[in-house]
């Protein structure tokens, strides 16, 4: 009966466009060459370890975290560019994680991706025109003169001159290559775009151009974004809501403004305090929380709350209990047993107390 | 300044000859670094910031590179006229460098201990035992836990942040007078970046080393540098004390850079200011100001005549025909405040 539903129907304000439920992506390191399995100790990387979140139609959900936290894998799993191990990805009510390949290919038209490395994501042997036409052909959207007109229109939309239509990717700068990648993502008229670190490979003066372009396209085409970045400044600017990941789990999720102004979870507090602010007056008086140690390996993450070995607030229970993502304040979720809705400020919680455990 | 600067770079020009064209990577760059001072060098890729530091260290590959003119005076000594041997005895001892990627600058086949010990054995004449003791001390200083045991591990056994600490330990082994750090935190995560910057700050305070911090991140220099040099297309576009540069930039490029960085404390979410266009190809610069094509302040003269370096206050200079005008305009952090 799935096939009867016309794919262009929007759910409007009635529900999220994308719903991720208990999503897990595990990579089994025992597979492959035996020496690699030996080196890995025969373990499993839990890159995404039980993530649930909703992406509302028309919003930008920012996804932040440090390298190895699983944010890229989560983005790819939502588009099923990697196969989830367990859980659901509901896109307009259909489970992308389990639908048959043929149906998945049809749905891909509505879910596109912008990649971090613009050059690596473009086929060096194809011209710009061919790159942008490919999705139009794949999904059978237009042919001949109409296709050419669409390509020219897309190039204009992303700020590339139509004169470049027969040029190859290497003839462009990084920022222009990213524009080509964006035009390709827009070509099949998607509703949802996963933008994975779309500006990190670009120069500072070019980053603002691409951020503005991405935001402009959202307003013009009512796009929904998952904006993945380690750059907390860019995420603050682009996102309506922000999810913070640490070692495969979402540890905090809130409206962007609230998350940056009053983070609840100790990891988020440290992360936000570590962002350098381009204002010497602010830098001179702000209090920076410097975390001890590195992000542990996701092959063998710490027990309980994965953050507890680096956390200044950790108590014994933190090593035992897996904290659930709980609504601490309205629409503000955090995974920490040392806070609760009644006692949201970790600095005011009695030493050793774990109000989050009782609830 | 009564005291002579530790480092003085004067009219440095580093050119590369490629396919019959001359790439003017560094073109008439002059600046000074005082004793105990931290100078931030900010620029985008191709601005010449890294080639400047490589020229100071005499690490520019020649050919295709050549130092077309200029002087580098370090502690009264002219570096560009030293013999290779004299330069080697200075490099790593009195001037040390930390690079962006700690994996490629450490030798993957050698234990950390070997790489740390060879520096002091070579430069300070340490015996093996002395060098080992000193190396452990250095690793402890940069905050590597369990230093004595980790000494005999290989670079791949360390995380990115830990490898950068090892690089800093090596660089500081001989208590250099000048540390050049070229994008030392760019490859690292923010929480690790905070640790490394904290470490450099602390070490600077304890040892009095002068630091040249090269970065593309204005946020990093805001909290670290006493003075900032902004580079573009091989030229110094602006130089000023940090506070003044952020409060009253005297160059349209600096101004554009400051405005285009999203501000986490900014609660309006209007459109970001954007510098239009692309950084120029330094092998085919037009006459006039290299930034003119992207500049919203540009007038006819900017496309024709190379701009003068205008002095705006005792320590503030800007390469712009209209530097004085730009300097007078108040800096508004949020362009789109009207949206709020």
Q: Which residue among A212, A236, A278 sits closest to B258, beta carbon to beta carbon?
A: A278
Instruction: Name the band, by pLDDT with cuts 50, 70 and 90, for residue A2.
Output: very low
Angle at alpha carbon of residue B116, lines to B112 and B120, rounded to 5°: 165
- The residue behind tokens 């024709």 is B304
Cβ of B190 within 8 Å of Cβ of A232? The answer is yes
Q: Is A234 on the interface with B (CB under 8 A)?
A: yes
Cβ of B161 within 8 Å of Cβ of A294? The answer is yes
Per DSSP, the residues of A22-48 read EEEEEEETTSS-HHHHHHHTT-EEEEE
Look at residue A6 in the predicted model and tell me its pLDDT. 38
Instruction: Name the band, by pLDDT with cuts 50, 70 and 90, for residue A214.
Output: very high
Tell me the per-residue pLDDT of B147-203, one tens digit each, with 9 for 90 and over: 888 899 998 888 777 888 898 889 888 889 999 999 888 877 888 888 888 888 888
Contact A309, A302 (CB under 8 A): yes
Residues in chain B where the model's pLDDT stays below 70: 1-2, 102, 265-269, 332-340
* Chain A residues closer than 8 Å to B333 by CB: 279
Contact A354, A315 (CB under 8 A): yes
Look at residue A12 in the predicted model and tell me its pLDDT. 44
pLDDT at A358 over 50: yes
User: Nearest-CA distance from B165 to chain A in Å?
Assistant: 12
Higher pLDDT, B185 or A326: A326
Average pLDDT, chain A: 89
Cβ of A208 within 8 Å of Cβ of B243? The answer is no
Q: Is A180 on the interface with B (CB under 8 A)?
A: no
Phi/psi at B106 (5° precision): -100, 145
Cβ of A204 within 8 Å of Cβ of B258? The answer is no
Cβ of B264 within 8 Å of Cβ of A208? The answer is no
Nearest to A283 by CA among B310, B197, B81: B197
* Chain B residues closer than 8 Å to A204 by CB: 44, 216-218, 257, 260-261
Instruction: Name the band, by pLDDT with cuts 50, 70 and 90, for residue A184.
Output: very high
pLDDT at A288 over 90: no
A interface test, pick of B223, B240, B242, B277 with most A CB neighbours within 10 Å: B223
Nearest to A48 by CA among A25, A31, A22: A25
Tell me the per-residue pLDDT of A80-110, one tens digit each, with 9 for 90 and over: 999 999 999 999 889 999 999 999 999 999 9
B interface test, pick of A210, A220, A279, A293 with most B CB neighbours within 10 Å: A279
pLDDT at A5 over 70: no
C-alpha B207/C-alpha B200 separation (Å) is 10
Look at residue A34 in the predicted model and tell me its pLDDT. 62
Cβ of B193 within 8 Å of Cβ of A66? The answer is no
Q: Is A303 on the interface with B (CB under 8 A)?
A: no
pLDDT at A309 over 50: yes
* Chain B residues closer than 8 Å to A212 by CB: 271-272, 274
CA nearest B45 in A: which residue?
A203
Q: Which residue among B159, B219, B273 sits closest to A276, beta carbon to beta carbon?
A: B219
Q: Is A272 on the interface with B (CB under 8 A)?
A: yes
Look at residue A8 in the predicted model and tell me its pLDDT. 40
Look at residue A11 in the predicted model and tell me its pLDDT. 42
CA nearest B264 in A: which residue?
A233
Look at residue A119 in the predicted model and tell me its pLDDT. 87
Contact B125, B131 (CB under 8 A): no
Look at residue A141 in the predicted model and tell me its pLDDT. 93
Q: Which residue among A66, A209, A277 sits closest to B189, beta carbon to beta carbon?
A: A66
Tell me the per-residue pLDDT of A33-84, one tens digit each, with 9 for 90 and over: 666 656 555 578 889 999 999 999 999 999 999 888 899 999 999 999 999 9
Tell me the per-residue pLDDT of B301-336, one tens digit each, with 9 for 90 and over: 999 999 999 999 999 999 999 999 999 987 765 443
C-alpha B157/C-alpha A82 separation (Å) is 28
Q: Which residue among B217, B260, B267 sits closest to A276, beta carbon to beta carbon?
A: B217
* Chain A residues closer than 8 Å to B216 by CB: 203-204
- What are the residues whose beta carbons fall under 8 Å from the beta carbon of A131, sequence distance 6 or more? A122, A123, A169, A180, A184
Look at residue A37 in the predicted model and tell me its pLDDT. 59
* Chain A residues closer than 8 Å to B335 by CB: none
Cβ of A260 within 8 Å of Cβ of B271? The answer is no
Q: Is A295 on the interface with B (CB under 8 A)?
A: yes
Phi/psi at B326 (5° precision): -60, -40
Nearest to A313 by CA among A295, A331, A338, A330: A338
User: Nearest-CA distance from A282 to chain B in Å?
Assistant: 9
C-alpha A211/C-alpha B274 separation (Å) is 9
Cβ of A203 within 8 Å of Cβ of B279? The answer is yes
Residue A312: count of CB within 10 angstroms of its CB: 11
Sheet with A249-255: list strands edge to edge: A111-114, A192-196, A224-228, A60-64, A241-246, A249-255, A332-334, A326-329
- What are the residues whose beta carbons fall under 8 Å from the beta carbon of A25, sequence distance 6 or more? A47, A48, A70, A73, A74, A77, A82, A83, A84, A85
Instruction: Name the band, by pLDDT with cuts 50, 70 and 90, for residue A7.
Output: very low
User: Nearest-CA distance from B261 to chain A in Å?
Assistant: 7
Look at residue B334 in the predicted model and tell me its pLDDT. 46
Residue A280: count of CB within 10 angstroms of its CB: 22
User: Nearest-CA distance from A287 to chain B in Å?
Assistant: 12
Q: Which residue among A173, A260, A278 sits closest to B278, beta carbon to beta carbon?
A: A173
Phi/psi at A14 (5° precision): -75, -20
B interface test, pick of A70, A203, A205 with most B CB neighbours within 10 Å: A205
Backbone region of residue A254 per phi and psi (left: phi > 0; alpha: psi in -120 to 50; beta: other values): beta
Least confident of A290-294, A339-343, B117-121: A290-294
């Amino acid at each position: 009966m799935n096939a009867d539903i016309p794919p262009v129907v929007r759910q409007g304000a009635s529900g999220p466009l994308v719903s991720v439920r208990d999503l897990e992506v595990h990579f089994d390191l025992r597979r492959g060459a035996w020496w690699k399995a030996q080196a890995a100790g025969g373990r499993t990387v839990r890159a995404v370890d039980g993530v649930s979140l909703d992406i509302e139609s028309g919003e930008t959900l920012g996804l932040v975290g440090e390298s190895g936290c699983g944010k890229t894998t989560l983005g790819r799993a939502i588009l099923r560019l990697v196969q989830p191990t367990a859980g659901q990805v509901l896109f307009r009510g259909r489970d992308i994680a389990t639908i048959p390949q043929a149906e998945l290919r049809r749905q891909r038209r509505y879910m596109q991706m912008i990649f971090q490395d613009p050059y690596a994501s473009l086929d060096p042997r194809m011209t710009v025109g061919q790159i942008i036409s490919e999705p139009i052909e794949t999904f059978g959207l237009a042919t001949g003169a109409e296709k050419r007109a669409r390509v020219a229109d897309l190039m204009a939309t992303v700020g590339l001159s139509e004169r470049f239509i027969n040029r190859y990717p290497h003839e462009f700068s990084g920022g222009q290559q990213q524009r080509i990648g964006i035009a390709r993502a827009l070509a099949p008229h998607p509703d949802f775009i996963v933008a994975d670190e779309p500006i990190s490979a670009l120069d500072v003066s070019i980053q603002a151009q691409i951020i503005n372009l991405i935001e402009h396209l959202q307003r013009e085409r009512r796009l929904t974004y998952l904006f993945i970045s380690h750059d907390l400044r860019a995420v603050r600017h682009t996102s309506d809501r922000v999810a913070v990941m640490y070692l495969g789990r979402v540890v905090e999720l809130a409206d962007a403004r609230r998350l940056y102004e009053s983070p609840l979870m100790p990891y988020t507090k440290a992360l936000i305090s570590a962002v350098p602010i381009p204002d010497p007056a602010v830098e001179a008086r702000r209090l920076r929380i410097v975390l001890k140690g590195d992000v542990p390996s996701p092959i063998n993450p710490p027990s309980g709350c994965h953050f507890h070995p680096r956390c200044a607030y950790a108590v014994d229970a933190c090593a035992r209990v897996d904290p659930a993502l709980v609504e601490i304040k309205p629409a503000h979720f955090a995974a920490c047993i040392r806070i609760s809705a009644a006692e949201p400020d970790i600095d005011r919680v009695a030493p050793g107390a774990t109000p989050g455990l009782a609830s | 300044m009564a005291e002579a600067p530790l480092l003085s770079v004067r009219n440095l020009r580093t050119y590369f000859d490629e396919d019959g064209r001359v790439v003017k990577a560094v073109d008439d760059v002059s600046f000074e670094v005082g004793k105990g001072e931290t100078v931030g060098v900010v620029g985008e890729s191709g601005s010449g910031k890294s080639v400047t530091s490589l020229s100071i260290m005499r690490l520019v590959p020649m050919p295709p590179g050549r130092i077309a003119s200029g002087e580098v005076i370090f502690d009264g000594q002219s570096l560009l006229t030293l013999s290779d041997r004299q330069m080697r005895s200075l490099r790593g001892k009195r001037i040390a460098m930390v690079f962006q990627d700690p994996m490629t600058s450490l030798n993957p086949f050698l234990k950390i201990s070997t790489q740390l010990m060879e520096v002091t054995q070579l430069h300070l004449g340490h015996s093996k035992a002395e060098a080992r003791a000193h190396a452990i001390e250095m690793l402890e200083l940069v905050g590597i836990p369990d230093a004595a045991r980790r000494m005999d591990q290989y670079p791949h056994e360390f995380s990115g942040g830990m490898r950068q600490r090892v690089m800093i330990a090596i660089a500081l082994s001989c208590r250099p007078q000048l540390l050049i750090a070229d994008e030392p935190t760019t490859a690292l995560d923010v929480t690790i970046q905070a640790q490394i910057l904290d470490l450099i700050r602390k070490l600077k305070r304890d040892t009095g080393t002068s630091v040249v911090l090269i970065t593309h991140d204005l946020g990093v220099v805001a909290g670290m540098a006493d003075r900032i040099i902004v580079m573009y297309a091989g030229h110094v576009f602006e130089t000023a004390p940090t506070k003044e540069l952020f409060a009253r930039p005297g160059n349209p490029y600096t101004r554009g850079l400051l405005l285009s960085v999203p501000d986490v404390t900014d609660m309006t979410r209007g459109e970001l200011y954007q510098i239009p266009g692309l950084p120029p190809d330094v092998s085919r610069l037009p006459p006039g100001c290299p930034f003119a094509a992207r500049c919203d302040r540009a007038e006819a003269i900017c496309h024709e005549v190379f701009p003068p370096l205008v002095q705006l206050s005792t320590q503030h200079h800007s390469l712009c025909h209209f530097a004085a005008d730009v300097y007078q305009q108040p800096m508004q952090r949020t362009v789109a405040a009207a949206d709020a």
